[in-house]
């Protein structure tokens, strides 16, 4: 086991459950989760709410101190653990359910609302339960190998706020910087939100950079090596695959499968596509295949860990688990294995037997097969997701890639059984919903448990808080998605729901026998090559799947970390462990992540209330001038991060 010493010693006896933290977390989670759902339906991405909830909770407890008394670090921890579940629920729902609207099978606001809420609840509970036996290994034993950037950043925020004084200053300085920068970028719109650098002599070769302080901070927390591997995957896509497709597609007289186009519109030739269109219509299938293969490899390599964790759980169950729990250190107590087994069985049986759960109106044989598929794929991708977020964080967790693999596997099974009608499509999609929520929530739980591990919380208390967050927030997220769908529809210009569109395409492709297997298997080969070369295939595959513009600022943050290490001004052991609360660089990077996250969600809330995006101030720097200013602003944030990291608190 790790020799890490938490902020609150393990032998300290304290009441680390907080009802006021639970209530506050549920309120903030419903608000921020709804805003996240809105944002994801707009652009296909969601923001982790763990750090924003922590920061807002700190401020709320401070403001309410005259009424409720002094709060503790555990109050805030329970609040952020409860509230952060909402973003994971939003990811699972918005990546799948909008496809029902596109098929003309929109869930009603009555029975449909109950069904979507039930799917979210089942997925959330499964994700939490499957993660519990893995915690001693992924969080504790792999502490030095899996940084869990958002969990580490969140712990830094909590410790700094608890310590107060000079120690808290870097966090809130970074927080202010992140808020101001995001406001200038998204509210005032003074310069471009993305800079594209065209590579000469390389057809449609583009290197994109998203000037995001939050992504810069994530790269700093991750470190240079992982950041470099991730950007390498992105470079393969944008400077390798896309230019090759553009070169060989230049003379093609017909569209190359699987070109997607609106009903009634003419197909688009590759020579007429932009680099972004080639990426979205072809390369994402390659990325999905790479992520799927890397995930399967991770599961195979993790089998000894998984078996050992389950064995320990059974040993606790058979050896009077209550006594074992009471004799363990407080920081080693998880929910008993009996709760995990009975809870899992109850969820699977509910999905199989409840007529309104999976594919409303589907025959019993559909529901039983679906429940089995859910149990298998959820267990698989909970493990995969928990490891991925240890490297790239919740925001960059390729949950949609895991959902694609689930949909492909389930669709192939249903196709072989001849279940290709409407019931088959709806059942496959609802399977994907539950698995997507489970994988997403598992990543969130992992980050929260990392935070608890660093500050010295009791894992069982956090797990209960996470379950409470699922129970309290699932209905709110489901209601927001269905209301937006019935008011605006999905798949159009207002709410394009890009991920759900891709899910619909995958299901239609498999059940209609026209999925681009060549692209999927090409991605699988890239993951295998990376693994054979000794490169972490998950990090590499994530780089292929996500936009290069997202990877480049992460890489730049890793470069800043490398420069700080090279300067020789930090303790090497501290660097190896991913930093702690005395590391000003980690604290400042945490503030950058929190600031942009809080402001980004605030903008989403404002957009939802106004029914439109903020219009800006009517003036913005455009062209090369705007791009240069954008890069200089990001460079300035990086320089401040570097200067801050070279100074250590006393």
Q: What are the tens digits of pLDDT across the range 402-417? A: 777 788 888 888 888 8
Q: Which residues pair with 300 in a beta bridge?
A: none
- In angstroms, the CA 83 to CA 66 distance is 23
Question: Is 66 a residue whose pLDDT tops 70?
Answer: yes
Average pLDDT over residues 39-61: 73
- In angstroms, the CA 404 to CA 401 distance is 5
The answer to whether residue 81 sits within a structural domain is yes
Backbone angles phi, psi at 206, to 5 degrees: -135, 135
- In angstroms, the CA 56 to CA 46 distance is 18
The answer to whether residue 127 sits within a structural domain is yes
Q: Which of 529, 530, 550, 623 is nearest to 238 (CA)?
A: 550
- In angstroms, the CA 362 to CA 352 distance is 11
pLDDT computed for residue 1 by the predictor = 44
Reported as type and span, the H/E element at residue 196 is strand 195-198
Average pLDDT over residues 161-179: 73
What is the per-residue pLDDT across 89-145, written as a single tens digit (0 to 9) for each?
A: 888 888 888 888 888 888 877 788 888 999 999 999 999 998 888 888 788 887 777
Average pLDDT over residues 244-250: 89
Structure tokens, 237? 């896509």
Which of the four pLDDT bands, split at 50, 70 and 90, describes residue 579?
very low
- In angstroms, the CA 501 to CA 95 distance is 8
pTM: predicted TM-score of the whole model, two decimal places: 0.73
Q: What letter would DSSP give residue 239?
A: I
Q: Length of the chain, please?
A: 650
Question: Is 577 a residue whose pLDDT tops 50?
Answer: no
pLDDT computed for residue 321 by the predictor = 46
C-alpha distances (whole Å) from 73 to each of 70, 147, 241, 579 are: 10, 21, 48, 19
* 197 CB neighbour count, 10 Å cutoff: 12
CA 231 to chain centre: 18
Highest mean pLDDT among 312-326, 491-505, 546-560: 546-560
Question: Is 378 a residue whose pLDDT tops 60?
Answer: yes
Which of the four pLDDT bands, split at 50, 70 and 90, describes residue 471?
very high
Q: Which of 413, 342, 416, 336 is nearest to 376 (CA)?
A: 413
Question: Is 392 a residue whose pLDDT tops 80?
Answer: no
pLDDT computed for residue 591 by the predictor = 78
> Euclidean distance between the first and final Cα of the chain, in Å?
29
623-645 helix and 584-610 helix, angle to the nearest 10 degrees: 140
Average pLDDT over residues 572-581: 45
Between 649 and 567, where is the model more confident? 567
Question: Which runs of consecutive H residues, i.e. helices, occur in 393-421?
Answer: 399-416
- In angstroms, the CA 27 to CA 60 distance is 12
Return all residues near 498 (Cβ < 8 A) that are at least 6 apart: 43, 44, 280
- In angstroms, the CA 284 to CA 478 distance is 27
The answer to whether residue 568 sits within a structural domain is yes
Between 344 and 623, where is the model more confident? 344
The answer to whether residue 13 sits within a structural domain is no
What is the per-residue pLDDT across 223-243, written as a single tens digit (0 to 9) for each?
A: 888 889 989 999 999 999 999
Summary mean pLDDT of the chain = 79
Question: Is 600 a residue whose pLDDT tops 50?
Answer: yes
CA 420 to chain centre: 31
pLDDT computed for residue 124 by the predictor = 93
Average pLDDT over residues 455-480: 89
Q: Which residue has the tokens 């590759």?
A: 270
* Dihedral angle computed from the Cα positions of residues 159, 165, 171 and 172, in that order, rounded to the nearest 10 degrees: 130
Pairing of strands 195-198, 206-209: antiparallel
The answer to whether residue 1 sits within a structural domain is no
pLDDT computed for residue 583 by the predictor = 63
Q: In a 10 Å sphere around its CB, with 0-12 CB exposed, 13-18 middle and 19+ buried, how is residue 532 labelled?
A: exposed
Q: Which residue has the tokens 């925001």?
A: 395
pLDDT computed for residue 522 by the predictor = 93
Number of domains comprising the chain: 1
pLDDT computed for residue 555 by the predictor = 93
Q: In a 10 Å sphere around its CB, with 0-12 CB exposed, 13-18 middle and 19+ buried, how is residue 183 labelled?
A: middle
- In angstroms, the CA 431 to CA 96 distance is 10
Reported as type and span, the H/E element at residue 208 is strand 206-209
Between 21 and 502, where is the model more confident? 21
The residue segments making up the domain with residue 106 are 19-645
pLDDT computed for residue 265 by the predictor = 56
Average pLDDT over residues 153-180: 76
Question: Is 618 a residue whose pLDDT tops 90?
Answer: no
Return all residues near 266 (Cβ < 8 A) that are at least 6 apart: none
What is the per-residue pLDDT across 498-508, written as a single tens digit (0 to 9) for each?
A: 778 778 877 87
Q: What letter would DSSP give residue 420?
A: -
- In angstroms, the CA 29 to CA 11 distance is 31
- In angstroms, the CA 262 to CA 416 distance is 29
Between 491 and 176, where is the model more confident? 176
ω into 258 cis (within 30 of 0): yes
Q: Which of 117, 540, 499 is nearest to 109 (CA)?
A: 117
CA 572 to chain centre: 30
Structure tokens, 36? 């996240």
Q: Which residues pair with 198 in a beta bridge?
A: 206
The answer to whether residue 139 sits within a structural domain is yes
Question: Is 485 a residue whose pLDDT tops 70?
Answer: yes
Return all residues near 518 (Cβ < 8 A) that are at least 6 apart: none
Question: Is 545 a residue whose pLDDT tops 70?
Answer: yes
Q: Which residue has the tokens 């299901």?
A: 507
Question: Is 59 a residue whose pLDDT tops 70?
Answer: yes
The answer to whether residue 58 sits within a structural domain is yes
Between 466 and 69, where is the model more confident? 466
The answer to whether residue 491 sits within a structural domain is yes
């Amino acid at each position: 086991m790790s020799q890490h010493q938490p902020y609150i010693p393990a032998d300290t006896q304290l009441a680390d459950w907080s009802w006021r933290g639970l209530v506050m977390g549920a309120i903030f989670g419903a608000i921020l989760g709804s805003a996240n759902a809105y944002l994801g339906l707009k652009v296909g991405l969601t923001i982790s709410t763990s750090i924003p909830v922590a920061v807002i909770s700190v401020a709320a407890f401070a403001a309410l101190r005259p009424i409720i008394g002094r709060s503790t670090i555990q109050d805030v921890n329970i609040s952020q653990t409860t509230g952060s579940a909402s973003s994971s629920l939003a990811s699972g729902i918005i990546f799948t359910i909008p496809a029902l609207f596109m098929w003309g099978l929109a869930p009603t606001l009555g029975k449909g609302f109950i069904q979507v809420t039930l799917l979210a609840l089942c997925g959330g509970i499964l994700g939490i339960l499957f993660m519990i036996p893995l915690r001693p290994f992924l969080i504790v034993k792999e502490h030095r190998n899996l940084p869990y950037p958002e969990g580490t950043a969140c712990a830094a925020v909590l410790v700094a706020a608890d310590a107060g004084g000079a120690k808290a200053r870097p966090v809130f300085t970074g927080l202010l910087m992140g808020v101001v920068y995001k406001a200038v970028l998204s509210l005032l719109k003074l310069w471009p939100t993305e800079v594209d650098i065209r590579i000469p002599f390389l057809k449609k070769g583009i290197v994109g950079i998203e000037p995001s302080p939050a992504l810069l901070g994530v790269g700093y927390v991750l470190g240079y090596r992982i950041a470099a591997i991730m950007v390498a995957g992105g470079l393969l896509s944008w400077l390798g695959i896309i230019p090759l497709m553009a070169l060989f597609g230049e003379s093609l007289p017909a569209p190359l499968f699987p070109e997607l186009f609106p009903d009634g519109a003419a197909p688009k030739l590759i020579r007429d596509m932009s680099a972004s269109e080639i990426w979205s219509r072809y390369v994402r299938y390659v990325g999905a295949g790479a992520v799927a293969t890397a995930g399967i490899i991770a599961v195979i390599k993790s089998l000894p860990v998984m078996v050992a964790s389950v064995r320990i759980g059974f040993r606790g169950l058979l050896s009077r688990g209550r006594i074992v729990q009471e004799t363990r250190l407080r920081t080693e107590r998880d929910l008993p294995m009996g709760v995990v087994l009975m809870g899992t069985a109850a969820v699977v049986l509910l999905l199989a037997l409840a007529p309104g759960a999976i594919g409303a109106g589907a025959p019993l044989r559909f529901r039983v097969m679906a429940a089995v598929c859910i149990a298998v794929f959820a267990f698989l991708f909970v493990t995969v997701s928990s490891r991925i977020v240890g490297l790239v964080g919740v925001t960059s967790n390729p949950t949609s890639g895991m959902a694609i693999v689930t949909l492909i596997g389930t669709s192939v099974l249903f196709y072989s059984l001849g279940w290709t009608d409407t019931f088959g499509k709806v059942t496959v999609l609802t399977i994907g919903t539950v698995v997507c929520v489970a994988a997403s929530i598992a990543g969130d739980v992992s980050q929260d448990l990392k935070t608890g591990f660093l500050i010295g919380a009791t894992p069982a208390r956090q797990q209960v808080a996470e379950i409470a967050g699922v129970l309290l927030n699932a209905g709110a997220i489901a209601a927001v998605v269905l209301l937006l769908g019935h008011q605006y529809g999905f798949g159009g210009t207002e709410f394009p729901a890009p991920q759900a569109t891709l899910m619909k395409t995958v299901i239609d492709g498999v059940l209609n026998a026209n999925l681009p297997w060549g692209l999927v298997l090409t991605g699988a080969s890239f993951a295998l090559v990376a693994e054979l070369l000794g490169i972490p295939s998950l990090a590499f595959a994530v780089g292929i799947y996500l936009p290069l513009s997202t990877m480049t600022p992460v890489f730049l943050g890793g470069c800043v970390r490398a420069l700080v290490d090279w300067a020789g001004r930090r303790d090497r052991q501290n660097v190896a462990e991913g930093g702690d609360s005395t590391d000003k660089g980690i604290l400042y990077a945490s503030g950058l992540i929190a600031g942009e996250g809080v402001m980004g969600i605030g903008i989403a809330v404002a957009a939802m209330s106004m029914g439109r995006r903020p219009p800006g101030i009517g003036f913005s720097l455009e062209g090369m001038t705007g791009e240069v200013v954008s890069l200089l602003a990001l460079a300035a944030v990086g320089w401040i991060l570097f200067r801050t990291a070279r100074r250590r608190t006393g």
